[in-house]
Amino acid sequence: MAKPDLLPGTLDMLILKTLTRGPMHGYGIALSIKRSSDDVLTVEEGSLYPALQRLLLQNWVKAEWKMTDTNRRARFYTLTPAGRKQLGIELSEFQQMIAAIGRVLSDAQEA
């Protein structure tokens, strides 16, 4: 089944939003996005890890090695205050854009 690609630029926002639920490792983030989107959005690992490095560099998330429930070592990512602020910015920009697109589309329907 063909899956829609993520809108460009939204992956960072999705990761940040996912992390508001608490610290998570990479696999958990991918799984969480997939589940909460009812399997519509699949985060490719090829984009996930470079994106996490990008967020780390900006200090929007921080990473810690911890033990999982099954006692395996994994890197857990936590949202930082700066990351939370960034998420707010990206959300409002995203909503503005969605609203704008919506207006254009409804105009187009009326015409």
Partner 1 sequence: MTFLNKLSLLFRRRRFDAELDEEMAFHRSQAEKEFLSAGMSPENARYAAMRRFGNRTRIKEHSREVIGFRAETIMHDIRYALRQLGASPAFTLVILLTLALAIGANTAIFSVINGVLLKRLPYQQPDRLVRVFLSNADYPKFPLNPFDFLDFRARNQSFESMAAFSRGDVQLSGEGEPVRLYGFGITSGYFHVLGLHPQLGREFDRASEIPGNGLQAVISDRLWRTRFGADPSIIGRKITLNMQPFTVVGVMPAGTVHPGNVYHSLPYGEDVDVWWPFSFAGDPNRRGSHFIEGIARLKNGVSISQAKGDMNGIMSQLGNEHPNGDKGWAVLVIPLYDEVVGQSRQMLLVLSGAVIIVLLIACANAANLLLARASSRQREIAVRLAMGAPRSRVVRQLLTESLLISFLGGGLGLATAYGGVKALVALLPSDFPRAQDIHVSAPVLVFTIVITIATGMLFGLAPAFQAASADPKEGLQKGGRTTIGSGRQSRLRDALVVAEVSLACVLLIGAGLMLRSLLNQLRLDPGFQRVHVLTASLSLPHATYPKDEPIGRFYDQLAANLNELPGVESAGVGSDLPWTGYDENAGGFTIEGKKPPAGQDFHGRYHMATPGYFSALGIPLVAGRFFTAADKRDAPQTIIINRIMAEQYWPGENVIGKRMSFDDNPKSDKDWITVVGVVGDVKDQPDSPGAKNAFWFPVLQQVWTNDMSVVIRARSDPRLLADALRNEVRRLDPSLAVSDVESMDSIVDSSVSTPRFAFALVGLFAGLAIVLAGIGTYGVISYSVSQRTPELGIRMALGAVRSDVMKLVLSHAAKLAGLGTALGVIGAFAMARLLKTLIFEVSTADPVTFATVAGMVIGVALLAGYIPALRATATDPVNALRSE
**E-only strand ranges, 2-108:** 24-25, 61-67, 73-79
Query: 35 vs 30, 31, 40, 43, 80, CA distance in Å?
Result: 9, 6, 8, 11, 24
Residues in CB range of 66: below 8 A, 6 or more apart = 23, 73, 74, 76
Q: Residue holding tokens 């560099």? A: 57
- Compute how many residues bind partner 1; rule: CB under 8 A: 20
Shortest gap between Cβ of 69 and partner 1 (angstroms)? 12
Should residue 74 be labelled a site residue for partner 1 when binding is judged by CB under 8 A? yes
To the nearest whole angstrom, how small is the minimum distance from the Cβ of residue 35 to partner 1? 12
Residues 13-52 that bind partner 1 (CB under 8 A): 25-27, 30, 44-46, 49-50
Q: Which of 6, 36, 54, 94 binds partner 1 (CB under 8 A)?
A: 54
Name the residues that contact partner 1, by CB under 8 A.
Answer: 25-27, 30, 44-46, 49-50, 53-54, 56-59, 65, 72-75
